[in-house]
Amino acid sequence: MTYLSTSFRHFRALSRKNIINWKRTALGSVTEIICPVILMIILVYARSITKPEFMDGVKISALRHPIF
């Protein structure tokens, strides 16, 4: 029984610490969510404005590096 109460105390203290940290760094938490979204929007936009360029076998053989 004491192990369960000790575990609950630790969990409660850790949860309280996490809530305090989240309140302090609300801007940081929002930034962690927004930055990847903005990056994906930029990549989708860049991909939509560029057109793929296809090369035939002769142009590929002129390249001096292996193709994987």
Between CA 39 and CA 56 the distance in angstroms is 33
Between CA 25 and CA 46 the distance in angstroms is 32
Residue 60 CB contacts under 8 Å (≥ 6 apart), including other chains: 67
Between CA 23 and CA 20 the distance in angstroms is 5
Q: Determine the pLDDT at residue 43.
A: 95
Positive or negative, the Cα torsion across 53, 55, 60, 63? Answer: negative
Q: Determine the pLDDT at residue 37.
A: 95
Average pLDDT over every residue of 7-19: 86
Render pLDDT for 15-53 as a digit per residue (tens, 0 to 9): 888 888 777 777 777 887 899 999 999 999 999 998 877
- pTM of the predicted model, to two decimals? 0.46
